[in-house]
Chain A
Amino acid sequence: MVKIEADHLNVFYGGLQALRDVTIRIQERHITALIGPSGCGKSTFLRCLNRMNDTIPGVRIEGRVLLDGEDIYAPQTDVVDLRRRVGLVFQRPNPFPQSIYDNVAFGPRVLGLAQGRALDGVVERSLRGAALWDEVKEDLRRPALDLSAGQQQRLCIARVLAVEPEVILMDEPCSALDPLATLRIEDLMRELRGTYTIVIVTHNMQQAARVSDYTGFFWLGELVEYDETARVFTRPAQRLTEDYVTGRFG
């Protein structure tokens, strides 16, 4: 099942073209990794999927992005609801300077999804979903900033889960983490797959190879190759992809 479809997507920052005619179908409840050298357009593409690029002045977008077949750039799109359905986890863990509980409860409160006992339930479910519950359940009033970097990143994932998204976008979610914390996030991604559609941008090719089902390779704003991960890393179709995944450039 296709969850997200980009159709001849072009993105310009002023006179600079960041994405060139990108067409891709992202499979529901699978992990799709986007790889490529810095400046290749992979993060730009990721941010098109929940219209985070709208906030950048001078940005111009052509083509379509469909979520469940609906164009998210159509005028009637409710962008707040879009960003609830398509959550984003950033490169650096960015918890609010509040308690663990309030961080996770933030989204449901703002959106009016739950309160009181129901909200407690949402917080617990989200923390369990992010594989953090057992480590923090003794004291949810602790400041989130007291957690380790790896725990903070899982808290940010819990914060996304709390608003019951369908898609989780991750922009280099492990680049600020040590190897063990990285592997925990990767395990978590494998657990979340099956419930959520996950799209991850990563500079770490081994990470893409380890966790993802599909891999897209971007270069100079173009999607050069998109295929099953096992194929991309064992017998890519394009010479450029081969050179990149074997570390010959980038």
Chain B
Amino acid sequence: MATRARSLFEQELRALQENVLRLGGVVADAIAEAVEALKERDVARAERVIAGDEAVNRLRFDIEEQCLRLIATQQPTAGDLRAIIAAIHIAIELERMGDHAAGIAVLTTRLADKPHIKPLIDVPRMARIDQEMIRESLRAYVEEDPELATRVAERDDEIDHLYDQIYRELLVFMVENPRIITRATWLLWVGHNLERIADRVTNICERVIFMVTGELQEFQA
């Protein structure tokens, strides 16, 4: 029935999607690097993550610019329009995740001068789940798969659970030894950044579902 028209427009939509994926890859790497730098107490590595946030911001603005141009010149409607709006939202969420990674790196530069107050186990675990969630949410975006998006969003519970665990553990440390309160608090902030990243992934999942189905639904953060 339908002869394929608008092939140029479709190419541009694909290019937009590729840029969103690229941004997702950069951000997921930044999170991994930030947590590795923390584990290794490697200030130079943390500073590279902080500097790298600039590139993340630029990519996000490129995506927004690309979306504006497509809206202004192509008069997108229906599914095309929803895909473009989704790209804008996803880019914003990814950029903020980049800020969280940079935030972890800043805390690393403060924490690196002394040995860790406890072995880092749950923090790298949270970071790993965050990265998986980012990759899978973007797979749901590309494959237009609302069921996958729902499953990814549900993993936010795992993250919340781990964060809660870190919080309790650090509380016990602080009660036992008030001299480490400052460093324990910084570590708690690391956990908070990782927890927020998962919340932002669920926002991406909501956008994917809206893009595919046209229905707005909110997951419990």
Contacts and interface: CB of A to CB of B under 8 A. Distances in A.
B179 interface: no
A247 B78 contact: no
B217 to A, nearest CB: 14
Contacts of B81: 233-234
Given A234-B214, A235-B214, A249 B5 contact: yes
B5 A247 contact: yes
A205 interface: yes
Contact of B78 (A245, A249, A250): A245
B5 A205 contact: no
Contacts of A233: 77-78, 81
Interface in A208-250: 209, 233-236, 241-243, 245-250
Of A245, A248, A250, which is in contact with the most chain B CB atoms at under 10 Å from its CB?
A248
B153 to A, nearest CB: 21
B77 A245 contact: yes
B80 interface: yes
Contacts of A235: 78-79, 82, 214
Interface string B154-170: 00000000000000000
Interface string B1-21: 111111001000000000000
Interface string B201-215: 000000000000010
Given A206-B75, A209-B77, A234-B214, A243 B2 contact: yes
Contacts of B214: 234-235
B201 to A, nearest CB: 24
Nearest to B2: A249
Contacts of A241: 78
A217 B92 CA distance: 35
A236 B82 CA distance: 12
Contacts of B2: 243, 248-249
A246 B1 contact: no
B5 to A, nearest CB: 6
A225 to B, nearest CB: 11
Interface string A136-179: 00000000000000000000000000000000000000000000
B78 A236 contact: yes
Contacts of A246: 6, 76-80
Given A234-B214, A235-B82, A235-B214, A248 B77 contact: no
A45 B78 CA distance: 25
A247 B9 contact: yes
A26 B215 CA distance: 27
Contacts of B78: 233-236, 241-242, 245-246
A242 B1 contact: no
A205 B1 contact: no
A152 B70 CA distance: 35
Contacts of B5: 247-250
A249 B1 CA distance: 9
Contacts of B9: 247
Nearest to A250: B5
Nearest to B9: A247
Contacts of A249: 1-3, 5
Contacts of B4: 248
A249 B5 CA distance: 6
Contacts of B6: 246-248
A241 B79 CA distance: 11
Interface in B37-94: 75-82
Interface of B: 1-6, 9, 75-82, 214
12 contacts: A209-B77, A234-B78, A234-B81, A234-B82, A243-B2, A245-B77, A246-B78, A247-B6, A248-B4, A249-B1, A249-B5, A250-B5
Given A205-B77, A234-B78, 12 more contacts: A206-B75, A233-B77, A233-B78, A234-B81, A235-B78, A242-B79, A243-B2, A246-B6, A246-B76, A247-B6, A248-B5, A249-B3
